[in-house]
A and B are shown apart, each in its own frame.
Chain A
Amino acid sequence: MSTATLPNERLGPIRTLGKTTLAVVEAVGDVTIFFTKILYWMSSRLPKPRVLLPSLYQTGVLSLPVVIVTGGFIGMVLAVQTYDQFRLMHMETRLGAVINISLVKELGPVLAATMLAGRVGSAIAAELGTMRVTEQIDALWAMGANPVNYLVVPRFLACFLLIPLLTIVADATGILGGWFFSSYVLGINSHHYWLHAIDYVGPYDLFAGTFKSTFFGAAIAVIACHRGFNCSAGAEGVGRAATEAFVFSFVLILALDFALGAFLQALYYTLWPSYGGGMVLQTDPSTLIAHLA
């Protein structure tokens, strides 16, 4: 037997690389198939209110307190961190513009989604994982129900529809938190604070943040349900599914944030070219050589 294991040891790193690559390709393929099943069932039979409402309540109503608190603190932290620099330039009243644009376009959607990946995503993965381990998913099949239709579609719809709304709530409480701290603690004039904020934050910014959060919501639901459905046996398996649901959806949120951010920026300057050039990349080789020289 020892001779049989020798080649494996020699090829260790290559085998590991191959195995990891195969596992990643398989996982991506599996998640894609899972997502198409969700879309199929969503288009063929929508869940009954009796099934959908508890998911909406769990995802939406029960997440409100944590989202409100998160949003409020983000707004106040932004005020704390940016005040000194703006004060040096005597531009304190511009704080509203910076806080609000950061919140609406980036921090609100990303941090609300991260918080919800922890609260909602992990809970979904743990619940479905426990159902897998205790044969409740098999029981659904055995009773003629489709588990994707019965368990996944309501959770997907809840995340897809409500995470953008929760993001708007996080944005709103963040804006109020930033204003409260700037106005009542830092002593910035409220009138000018709001004037600059309104000047700088437009409907497109609000749309961009909300648009991104629909993708974040869908990503959290798909990853969490997929991890729960493919949970391995025992308490350890359920724990791993919950952790993986959070970690994988967090990475995906950041990757999507980058890709969608770049896309939305490009779209903005395509729709309204007179507002500037957007991201200008220094790709001209002669300029680069001149700089280096």
Chain B
Amino acid sequence: MTAPTPILELQHASKKFGRQHVLRDINLSLQRGETLVVIGESGCGKSVTMKLLIGLLQPTAGTALLEGRPLSDRSEREMARERQRFGYLFQGAALFDSLDVFENVAFPLRQNTVLPEQKIRTIVEERLLEVGLPVSVCRKKPAELSGGMKKRVGLARALSLVPEIMMYDEPTTGLDPIMSDVINSLILQTRARRPVTSIVVTHDMTTVKKVADRVVMFYPLSRLQPDEPQIIFEGTAEEAFSSSDPRVSQFVNGEAGERIQELAVA
């Protein structure tokens, strides 16, 4: 029996910005329904990987595939249609400053559907309640919201079209521990309510423990030899926490190790 085609896949993908190499020969696949958590130091290319998978960035070399077909084979209009199958929670929520909360959550519906206004209102209110926000926030502007509320509005907006694939870019960064737990619970709740495939980019080990089916760890290219693979770990959360690789164990346990000496040299 052959393995099912991954819903998302990177094949030998590399990405350079000018002269700076961020990703090198990455092979990564996501099976339908699983939750993949990508961990790694800041600047190791985690968010770039996610942007390659949704086609917001194009790989310098290699291919990004959706259901086995390269994204580069699709026209701009086709990609716009395919992106409706994705929900993307950005690191800073990326809410539109000029629109209020209601218009932000309604945006994907107005952009991609011809639903009547009453139906749009019902869906927006449902999504806001789903992320634990009262309908009274509808008329607030993003600038009036706290960090946790912005993330939840961002999540409500990402869920408004009932996506098949959810992408979370550092969903708990900058939040207090309680709000972080709320967001982690919302990720689990989203997965429980609908058959969704998820990819989560994070530094937060609590998120890893709570939501991951599978974990991959990226390492910065500047710290690797030219022939070393950039993905230094792939396995379950338990395996990550018991890994014998010092680079993995230092990261998951939050230990600086020999990096302290680098600080002294600097």
Residue ranges of A at the interface with B (Cβ–Cβ < 8 Å): 50, 54, 127, 130-131, 134-136, 138-139, 141-146, 150
User: Of the candidates A130, A136, A146, which one forms a contact with B80 in the assembled complex, judged by CB atoms under 8 Å apart?
Assistant: A146
A-contact bits for B59-90, CB 8 A (1 contact / 0 none): 00000000000000000100011011010101
Give the contacts of B128-147 with A (CB-CB under 8 A): none
Q: In the bound complex, what is the Cα–Cα distance between A142 and B51 (angstroms)?
A: 9
Binds A, one of B26-34, B91-99, B223-231: B91-99
Q: Which residue of B lies closest to A135 (CB)?
A: B94
B83 contacts A135, C-beta separation under 8 Å: no
B83 contacts A142, C-beta separation under 8 Å: yes
Q: Which residue of A lies closest to B55 (CB)?
A: A141
Q: Give min CB distance, B13 to chain A, whole Å.
A: 18
Q: In the bound complex, what is the Cα–Cα distance between A54 and B100 (angstroms)?
A: 14
Q: A135-B92, A136-B96, A138-B90 are known contacts. Are A144 and B56 too (CB-CB below 8 A)?
A: no
Does B42 reach chain A (CB closer than 8 Å)? Answer: no
Helix, strand, loop or mixed for chain B's interface? Answer: helix
Q: A130-B97, A139-B96, A144-B108 are in contact. List 13 more A-B contacts (CB 8 A).
A: A54-B98, A134-B92, A134-B94, A136-B94, A136-B97, A139-B88, A142-B83, A142-B86, A143-B84, A143-B112, A144-B81, A144-B84, A145-B80
Q: A135-B91, A139-B90 are known contacts. Are A144 and B112 too (CB-CB below 8 A)?
A: yes
Q: Give min CB distance, B36 to chain A, whole Å.
A: 18
Q: Give the interface residue-count category, chain B.
A: 20 to 34
Contacts of B56 on A, CB cut-off 8 Å? Answer: 138, 141-142
Contacts of B110 on A, CB cut-off 8 Å? Answer: 50
A142 contacts B54, C-beta separation under 8 Å: yes
Q: In the bound complex, what is the Cα–Cα distance between A54 and B96 (angstroms)?
A: 14
B91 contacts A143, C-beta separation under 8 Å: no
Contacts of B96 on A, CB cut-off 8 Å? Answer: 131, 136, 139
CB < 8 Å A-B pair total: 53
Contacts of B218 on A, CB cut-off 8 Å? Answer: none
Would you list 6 pairs from A and B whose C-beta atoms are within 8 A, ordered by A residue?
A54-B98, A134-B94, A136-B96, A143-B83, A143-B107, A144-B81
B97 contacts A145, C-beta separation under 8 Å: no
Does B253 reach chain A (CB closer than 8 Å)? Answer: no
Q: Give min CB distance, B124 to chain A, whole Å.
A: 14
Q: Give min CB distance, B83 to chain A, whole Å.
A: 5
Q: In the bound complex, what is the Cα–Cα distance between A134 and B86 (angstroms)?
A: 20
Identify the 10 closest CB pairs spanning chains A and B, nearest first. A139-B94, A142-B88, A135-B94, A144-B80, A143-B108, A144-B83, A144-B84, A135-B90, A145-B111, A136-B94
A-contact bits for B156-189, CB 8 A (1 contact / 0 none): 0100000000000000000000000000000000
A146 contacts B90, C-beta separation under 8 Å: no
Contacts of B91 on A, CB cut-off 8 Å? Answer: 135
A146 contacts B94, C-beta separation under 8 Å: no
B80 contacts A138, C-beta separation under 8 Å: no
Q: Give min CB distance, B75 to chain A, whole Å.
A: 12
Q: In the bound complex, what is the Cα–Cα distance between A232 and B16 (angstroms)?
A: 16
User: Of the candidates A50, A54, A136, A141, which one forms a contact with B83 in the assembled complex, judged by CB atoms under 8 Å apart?
Assistant: A141
B111 contacts A144, C-beta separation under 8 Å: yes
Contacts of A130 on B, CB cut-off 8 Å? Answer: 97
Contacts of B54 on A, CB cut-off 8 Å? Answer: 142
Q: In the bound complex, what is the Cα–Cα distance between A266 and B86 (angstroms)?
A: 57
Q: Which residue of A lies closest to B169 (CB)?
A: A135
Q: Give min CB distance, B255 to chain A, whole Å.
A: 30
Contacts of B86 on A, CB cut-off 8 Å? Answer: 142
Contacts of A131 on B, CB cut-off 8 Å? Answer: 96-97
Q: Which residue of B lies closest to A50 (CB)?
A: B110
Contacts of A141 on B, CB cut-off 8 Å? Answer: 56, 83
B92 contacts A143, C-beta separation under 8 Å: no
Q: In the bound complex, what is the Cα–Cα distance between A54 and B91 (angstroms)?
A: 28
Contacts of A146 on B, CB cut-off 8 Å? Answer: 76, 80
Contacts of A144 on B, CB cut-off 8 Å? Answer: 80-81, 83-84, 108, 111-112
A143 contacts B111, C-beta separation under 8 Å: yes
Contacts of B51 on A, CB cut-off 8 Å? Answer: 138
Q: Which residue of B lies closest to A146 (CB)?
A: B80
Q: In the bound complex, what is the Cα–Cα distance between A136 and B108 (angstroms)?
A: 13
Q: Which residue of B lies closest to A145 (CB)?
A: B111
Q: In the bound complex, what is the Cα–Cα distance between A136 and B98 (angstroms)?
A: 11
Contacts of A136 on B, CB cut-off 8 Å? Answer: 94-97
Contacts of B108 on A, CB cut-off 8 Å? Answer: 143-144
A138 contacts B94, C-beta separation under 8 Å: yes
Q: In the bound complex, what is the Cα–Cα distance between A144 and B108 (angstroms)?
A: 8
Q: In the bound complex, what is the Cα–Cα distance between A15 and B94 (angstroms)?
A: 40
Contacts of B80 on A, CB cut-off 8 Å? Answer: 144-146
Q: In the bound complex, what is the Cα–Cα distance between A206 and B264 (angstroms)?
A: 71
Q: In the bound complex, what is the Cα–Cα distance between A161 and B98 (angstroms)?
A: 23
Q: Which residue of A lies closest to B112 (CB)?
A: A144
Contacts of B111 on A, CB cut-off 8 Å? Answer: 143-145, 150
Q: In the bound complex, what is the Cα–Cα distance between A142 and B94 (angstroms)?
A: 11
Q: Give min CB distance, A120 to chain B, whole Å.
A: 15
Q: Give min CB distance, B150 to chain A, whole Å.
A: 11
